[in-house]
């Protein structure tokens, strides 16, 4: 499989992976936000997604932090309704 070479395609992949994480780990994410330890609770899943992303995207695009931005958008911001000391 060819590496993704465009910023738009890498952004779509990052959001797709993050969206799957959010969909399949909803309770775990809410718990992590409530307890202000989201990145500890989701460490394995986030790393697995990162590994997939990095294996599919050209190295020149990795410095743009598309995956990290998607994680924040889809795992953190989408759960703004969950009470937390984070906000």
What pLDDT, in 10s, does the model give residues 53-62?
999 999 999 9
pLDDT tens sequence across 25-44: 999 999 999 999 999 999 99
The whole model's pTM is what? 0.90
Q: Can you give the pLDDT at residue 87? A: 63
Output the pLDDT for position 14: 98
Farthest-apart Cα atoms in the chain, separation: 43
Long-range pairs for 2-5: beta carbons < 8 A, 24 or more residues apart: 3/56, 3/57, 3/58, 4/56, 4/57, 4/58, 4/61, 5/58, 5/61
Burial 48-72 (b: 16+ CB within 10 A, else e): ebbeebeebbeeebeeeebbeebbe
Residue boundaries of the structural domains of the chain: 16-79
């Amino acid at each position: 499989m060819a590496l993704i070479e465009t910023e738009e395609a890498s952004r779509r992949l990052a959001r797709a992976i993050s969206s799957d994480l959010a969909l399949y780990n909803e309770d775990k994410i809410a718990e992590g936000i409530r307890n202000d330890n989201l990145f500890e609770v989701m460490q394995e899943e986030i790393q697995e997604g990162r590994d997939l992303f990095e294996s599919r995207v050209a190295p020149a695009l990795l410095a743009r932090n598309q995956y990290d931005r998607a994680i924040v958008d889809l795992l953190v911001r989408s759960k703004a309704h969950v009470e937390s000391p984070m906000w």
